[in-house]
Structure 1
Amino acid sequence: MDFTKEQLDYIDAPLDRHVYLKACPGSGKTEVVAAMVSKSVRQWSRFPSGIAVLTFSNSATDELRGRVRKHLKEPIGFPHYISTFDGFVLTRLVANIASELTGYKGKEGDFRIRIVEKTANIYRTHNSICDRKISACRYNFDLERARFIFSTGERGLDNQLNSTVFDKNIHDDLVATKRNLWQAGLATHGDIDMLALMAFKEPKLAVHFSRIARRFPVVIVDECQDLSLEQLRIVEKLSEFGVRFHFVGDLNQSIYGFRKSNPENVSKLMAKLEFESYELSTNWRSGQAIVDLCSNILGTGQVMSNQNIASVMPMILEYERCPSELLPTIRNFTQAYTNVVVVARGYTTLNRLRNGESVEGVELLAVACIGAGSGSVKDIKENLRVFAKWLAERLHLQVTKVGPHCPIAMESKLAWRKFIHESLKFMVANGAGNPDQTWSMWVRTAKLALRQLPDQVFVPAEIRKYLEALRHLNLVARKGQGAKLVSARLMRQKVHGDQADAMRYETIHGVKGETHDVTVVVSSLQPGSHLSHWQDWLRDPESEAARFAYVASSRPRHILIWAVKKLKPAERPVLAKLGFKLP
C-alpha cells in the first residue's frame, strides 16, 4: 500500500509524547495504525518493556492483530500486547491486586476475579429500594453524575431508581452489597474500572503501577471516542506514572452513550495532557456525494473523497406502514452488488424489516434450531448464542459475561460451549431443525426434545439440577400461527423463488468500522426516545443521534439509501437540502 503524506506523518509520530490521530471515516485508519505499530516494533529497543495496543471489541482486536501480522510477516509477540481496553484493565491493572482490593480469599489458590453479566440477580441489597431488593450486578457508581446508576432491565424501575435521592442508610447498603459481590470473587466489567480507580488511591500500590508503566510505556488506544469517564481517569492516572498515550479515532463517531462515552470528556483530557494532533482527512471509501451528505449531517467542513469512485447521489425510499414493504424494491435496485447491508438503530426495527413484525419468545428458539439444522457454518456462532440466551433466560440461570451466557455454576466456559453445541445437535436430530412443518407440530417436537435434554450424557454435572425444570416445560405457538408453516415465518433465505437473500441486517453499532457496497439506513415509524427516526438524527448536529446517522451513512462505497416513512410535504425539502434524491 502506498501511504499519503498525512498517513506517513502519523506512522513517524513520536512515541515519547501524547498523540491524537483524528481519522475521518474511510481514511485507512486501521491500516495506518497497523503500519505504525509494526514500524515501532521493528525499531523497539526497550525490552522487556513493550507497546500495548487497545481496542473496544474482540473483533477489532482480531482485525488489528491480523493487519500487524501482515506487516511484520509474523504474529506480534512479547513484550508487545494487543487486547481490549477492558482486558488490559482487568488482567494488567487489577488481577494481581484484586484480593487486596476486594478481600476475596480465593478458591484453591486461584485469586482471579470472575466477570459476571450485569443481568445476574445475585447478592441483593439488605433493604428494599423502590419496593425491590437490587442485585449488586445491576448498578454501578457513575463518576460523571456522582451517584449510583441502575440498570435492572426494567425501564420503569430504572427511571424510578435513577431519579430517587437516597439517604445514607440506602447508600451504605448499596456499597456493602457491592463489596459482598467483590468479596465472593465476582464483578461486572463496570466494577473493574472502579476497582482500578480505587487502587490508584492506595499509596502502597504506587509500586504496582510504576511497574505497569515500565512494562508498557506506550499505549495506543484505537476508537478513543468510546472511552468512558472512568476509563479516561485510568488513562490520566497512568500518564502520571509516565505512560504515553496515542489516541486514534473520530470524536464524531462517538455512539456509545449507554456505556458512558462522551466526546467532550475525551477532548478535555487531550487538552489537559497536551496531546499533539495529526489528521487523516481524506475518505478513500466513498463517492463525493455520500461524503458531502455525511458532512451535512454534522455541519462539519467538506471532506475529500476517493475520486476513483463515481459520485452517486444518496436516495430516499418511502414506506407506508412497515419497512418490510421496501424489500422487493431494495433487492431489485441492489442486485448488481454483493455487499448490501440494511442498518437500523435497534433490533426491533430490523426484525420488523425482515419479518414484518418482531421475532421473540418461542420463535427465537426456532431460529436457533432451524439455523443449526441448515448446516451453515457461517451462522453457527449466532445460533449457539441465541440458543444459549434462550435456555439461560428460560431456566433463570445467573450467567457470566462470556460463554456465551455461561452459568456462574460452570467453571469451564469450553464445557458450556460444548454442551450448547451438543444440545443444538440433539434438538436438530429430534426434528426441531425442520422448518417444513406447522408451528403446532414444531413446538410439540421441540417440547419433547427439550424434556429429554436432562437425561443426555453430554450434560455437565454442574448444571444437571437446573435442567430438571425442562422435564415439565410447556411450549406454545404464537396466537394465530399454529396452522402456518415455520418456514413461511422464519426462513428469510427464501425470499422469492429460489433466489437467496444477499442482504445482511445489522444495527448501527454493529456496522461501525465496516465498508459496504450499498448501505440502507432504516428510519423507524416515528420519533422518540430510542433516537431511531430520521428527525431525531437531524434535530441537533452535535447530538449522539446525529452521530448515529453519520456512522451509518458513512459505510457505503457506492450507494446510500435512507428508508423512511412516507414524507409529509414540509419534510421533503429538509432531506433534499441534506443531499438526498427524493422519489
Structure 2
Amino acid sequence: MSQENLTEEERKRQELLEQLYKRLEHDEHIEKLSLEQLEFIVNPIANSSFLNSCPGSGKTEVVGFKAAYEASSWDSPYAGMAILSFTKNAASEIWKRANKYSKQKAVQFPHFVGTLDSWLHQYIFQPFCYSVMDYKGKDGDTSVNIIDSDSNAPFLENYKSVISSQPSYQEVKVNEYYIDCNNSIKFNRNRERNLNSYQRRILIENKLKFAKSGFATYQDAEFWSYRLLNQNETILDLISKRFPYIIIDECQDLAPSRLDVVEILQEKGVIFHFVGDINQSIYDFIDVDPFKIQDFIAVSGMHEMELTKNFRSNQDITNLCAKLVGIQCPPEGRIPREDASCVLWECPSDELHRLPSLFEWYLNSKNIECGNCSIVVRGKALINKVKKTNPLESISYDIAKAFFLWNSEFKKTESIIEALELLGRSICNLAYKGRGNHQNQHCPETFEHIDWRMFLSNILNSSKELATFKNGSRLQTWSQWCGSLKGFLEKYFLNLPDTYVKWDEAKRKIKAPSRKANELVMNSLSSSSSSKKIRMTTIHDVKGETLDALMLISNPDRHSKGGHFEHWLENPTSEYARFAYVACSRPKDLLIVVVPPLNEIQRKKLEGIGLVSQELPGTLSHWF
C-alpha cells in the first residue's frame, strides 16, 4: 500500500516501526505490533509513564520489546535498567523476549531482569541492611537469614511475644507480623488486632531482637530496605545511579511497603515506568490497595498510556468483564463465536459434583480441547465440594487417590499438588488430629513446611507397588488394600515427632470407605466423578493465564468472602468484583458462570452483564 493511501493511524504506525527497526532485528512479531504498543516501546525512557493495560493486551511482550529497544542503544557500562515483575515465570518471559528481538544479546549487565524481591534482596537488603538491623554477622558474613512467615521452626520460640496474661493468654510469633514504614504493626494476611501501647512495645522489641540476631521475613526485608534508604543518603544515591530507570510489570500488585521503597527512590531521581491493570489487583490479604497505587501514579505525574486491544478474549467476554468493574468503554476484543460465549448455568448445591463431567461434555460438543481449560472458584473448600471429597469421610480413599495421581504415567503439576494435599491431609488427620496448616499441605506445627513436603514426597516416591492396587496379579478390594496400607505406613508413622496419638489408635482409622469393603479399589478410583482432564483451581492461581474456556463457580451461599455471585455484582470498585474480573478475563472464547438457583431479579441482573441463561445439561445417558 502506498503512503498516499495510508490512514493517519497507519502512517504513524509505519513511522514508529521504522524507528524501531533502527535498533531491533526485523521480525514478523514486530510487524504485528499495534500503534498503542509501538508508542509505549519508543516512548523516551526518561519520561515516566503508566501503561494501563487491559487483559490480553500483550503487555508482557511489549515490556520485552521495550527492554530490547532501550538496551540496544545503551551506552553506560555501569548504570542500567531494572525490569521487574512479581513471578519468576513472568520475569523469565520478559528476558527471553527482550533478548530474542535484540540485534545482540544486550539485555544483560548492567541491566537486571527478574522479580522485584530478587532485585531488592540482591542490591539493597542483603548487601547493606545488616547495618540498620544492628546485626554484626558471623565470621565476617553479614548475610541475613530469610524466615518464611509460615515457619514453625523451634528456634522461633526465643522470639515469641506474650501480649496478655491469664485468663486471656495470648502469644504472638515473631513471623506472624511485621512493621510497616509508618512504624505500625501489621499482622500477616491483613488480620486485624487492636493493640495497646504495652503490647505494641513488646512486639517491636522482639522484632528488633529478631533482626539483631540476623533474621527477617520477606515483609521485614522491605521495612529494613526502606529504613536503610531513608537513613543512608550515600547508599540511596548509589542505588539511584546504579539503576536510574526501573520498569515494574504487574504494578497493581505493589504492597504499600514496596510502594514506599519506590517512592523514596523516585524522590532521588529514579525514573519509573509502571505497567499493569489496576482492576486485576486481588491481594488485599497482603494489604495491597489499588487506590493507593492509583494515587501514587497521579501524584508522581506519570504519563498515562493505554493498551486497549484485547487479543485474547472475544468481544462478548470483553464486554462482560468491563461491566463487572464499571468500565464505560470496553476494550476491543476478538470476533465473538456464533453461539453464546458467556453462558449462565444454575446448579443446586447437591449437584456440584456433576459440573466437571458436564463441562467436559459441553467442551466436546463445541469442539474445544479440554487441556487448556479450567474450573475456577474463590476458595479451596468449594473445590472439595465439586470433587465431592470429605477429609474426614475416608482417609484410605484420600491416600489411594494420592498414590494413584503420583504414580500416573502422564503426571501433571496439578496431579503432584493434589497428591501432596491429599496425603498431607490424611497423615495430619491420622497423627495430629487434623491440626495443621491447610495452606501448606496441612503441615503440623512440629514440622517446617519444606521438611513436611519432603516427608510426604518420600512416602509417595515409595508408593509405586501399593499404587497398582494388586496383590500379585489379582486386583485388591478396599478391605485387602487397607491391610497392605497399614503395613506400609507404620514405619513412617513411628518416625513422626510428637504425634497426638499412638499407632495402634491411628491405624483403626485406616479402613475401607463406607459400604465399599468388597469393591475393587481401581474401580472406585476410575469411577470418580471429577474429570481428570480439566484442572480445578482458584482465581488467584489462574491470574495471568490465557485459557480456551473457563467455568467460574459461585459459592452456594454468601458466607464466603467474595465467592458468591452477588458479591461480584454489588460494587464494581470492590475487590470482590475484581475477583470475578480476573477469572472472567482468562478465556478466549467460552465462559460459563455457575450459580445456585436464582429468583427472577437475580437472573435478570446476571443476564444484564451479558450472560446467556441455559438449562443445566441433563444426565449423561440423555446426551449419548
Q: What TM-score results when the alignment is normalised by the length of structure 1? A: 0.84
Partner of 1:341: 374
Alpha-carbon offset, residue 258 of structure 1: 0.7
Which residue of the partner structure matches residue 194 of structure 1?
Answer: 223
Could you tell which deviates more after superposition, 441-450 or 129-138?
Answer: 441-450
Could you tell me how far apart the structure 2 residues matched to 1:285 and 1:370 are? Answer: 35
**Retained in 2: the 8 A contact 1:367–1:383?**
no
- 1:454-533 equivalences under 5 Å are 466=497, 472=503, 474-475=506-507, 476-477=509-510, 481=514, 483=516, 491=525, 501-533=532-564
2:47 maps to which of 4, 14, 17: 17
- Residues 327-353 of structure 1, C-alpha deviation per residue, up to 9 Å, x if partnerless? 332221111212221111111112211
Asked if the contact 1:321–1:565 (Cα under 8 Å) also holds between the matched residues in 2, the reply is yes
Q: Deviation of residue 299 (structure 1)?
A: 1.8
Of residues 235, 251, 269, the one that matches 2:278 is: 251
Matching residue within 85, 88, 91 for 2:119: 88
Amino acid at match of 1:27: S
- 1:52-131 pair list within 5 angstroms: 52-72=82-102, 76-121=107-152, 122=156, 123-128=159-164, 130-131=168-169
SS at structure 2 position matched to 1:47 = coil
Matches of 1:115 and 1:365 in 2, distance apart?
33
Q: Kindly tell me: are residues 389 and 270 of structure 1, through their superposed partners in 2, closer, same or farther at Cα, counting changes over 3 Å?
A: farther
Determine what percentage of the aligned residue pairs are the same residue: 27
- The SS at the match of 2:272 is strand
Residue type of the partner of 1:193? E
Could you tell me which residue of structure 2 aligns to residue 352 of structure 1?
385
Distance in 2 separating the partners of 1:554 and 1:147: 36
One-letter amino acid matched to 1:247: F
- The answer for the alignment partner of 2:349 in structure 1 is 321
Q: Residue 149 of structure 1 aligns with which residue?
A: 186
Q: 2:307 aligns to what? A: 280
Within a 5 Å distance, the mapping from 1:176-255 to structure 2 comes to 176-202=205-231, 205-255=232-282
Query: Offset at 1:480?
Result: 5.3
Partners of 2:216 and 2:480 in 1: CA distance: 43
Indicate the residue corresponding to 2:293 in structure 1. 266
| Residue of structure 2 equivalent to 1:425 | 461
Whole-Å Cα distance in 2 between the matches of residues 106 and 444 of structure 1?
54
Which stretch of the first structure deviates more once superposed, 231-240 or 483-492?
Answer: 483-492
Aligned counterpart, 2:404: 370
1:172-217 Cα shifts (integer Å, max 9, x gaps): 1111222232233322211111111221232xx2222222222221
Determine if contact 1:427/1:433 at 8 Å carries over to the other structure: no
**Offset at 1:382?**
2.7
Q: Does 1:568 align with 2:568?
A: no
1:549 partner amino acid: A
Give the distance between the partners of 2:482 and 2:127, measured in 1 at CA.
Answer: 49
Structure 2 match to 1:551 = 582
- CA deviation after TM superposition for structure 1 residue 469, in Å: 9.7
Cα gap change, 1:532 to 1:37, in 2 (>3 Å): same
Deviations 1:199-248 (A, max 9, x none): 1232xx22222222222211111110111111111100111222211100
Equivalent-residue separation in structure 2 for 1:540 and 1:38 (angstroms)? 40
The CA deviation string for residues 68-101 of structure 1, in whole angstroms up to 9 with x for no partner, is: 3433475943222222222222222110123213
Gaps spanning 5+ residues in structure 1: where?
153-157, 456-463
Deviations 1:134-181 (CA, angstroms, capped at 9, x unpaired): 11011223568x7423349xxxxx97xx343x3322211111222232
Equivalent pair of 1:371/1:433 in contact (CA under 8 Å): no
SS in 2 for 1:133: strand
Structure 1 pair 389–29 and aligned structure 2 pair: CA distance change class (3 A): farther
Higher mean alpha-carbon deviation, 109-118 vs 45-54, is at 109-118
Matching of residue 7 in structure 1 with residue 37 in structure 2: yes
> Is the CA contact (8 Å cut-off) linking 1:493 and 1:501 kept in structure 2?
no
Structure with larger Rg: 2
- CA distance 1:247–1:84, shift in 2 (3 Å): same
Aligned residue pair count? 557
In the aligned structure 2, how far is the partner of 1:81 from the partner of 1:226? 20
Q: Are the aligned partners of 2:356 and 2:534 in contact in 1 as well (CA < 8 Å)?
A: no
Q: Identify which range, 90-99 or 538-547, moves more after superposition.
A: 90-99
SS of residue paired to 1:175: helix
Report SS of the residue matched to 1:573.
helix
1:449 counterpart residue number: 488
Distance 1:232 1:383 in 2: 35
RMSD in angstroms over aligned alpha carbons? Answer: 3.8
Deviation at 1:5, TM superposition (A): 0.5
- Correspondence 1:32 to 2:62: yes
Following the alignment from structure 1 to structure 2, what is the Cα–Cα distance between the partners of residues 425 and 541? 47
Partner of 2:197: 168
Cα distance in 2, alignment partners of residues 218 and 360 from structure 1: 56
SS of residue in 2 equivalent to 1:48:
coil
- The offset of 1:467, in angstroms, is 9.4
Offset, 1:383: 6.1
- CA–CA separation in structure 2 for the residues paired with 1:408 and 1:116: 16
Counterpart residue identity of residue 343, structure 2: M
Match of 1:540 in 2: 571
How far apart, CA to CA, are the structure 2 residues paired with 1:66 and 1:493? 43
1:418 deviates by 7.4
Partners of 2:261 and 2:65 in 1: CA distance: 27
d(CA) in 1 for partners of 2:118, 2:133: 19
For residues 392 and 548 of structure 1, do their structure 2 counterparts lie closer, same or farther at Cα, with a shift above 3 Å needed? Answer: same
Q: Distance in 1 between matches of 2:323 and 2:390?
A: 33
Paired residue type of 2:605: V
For structure 2, the 5+ residue unaligned runs are: 1-28, 615-624
| Residue of structure 1 in register with 2:20 after alignment | none
The Cα shift of 1:263 comes to 1.1
2:177–2:185: 8 Å Cα contact kept in structure 1?
A: yes
Matched with 1:135 is: 173
Amino acid aligned to 1:345: R
SS at match of 1:137: coil
Structure 2 SS opposite 1:16: coil
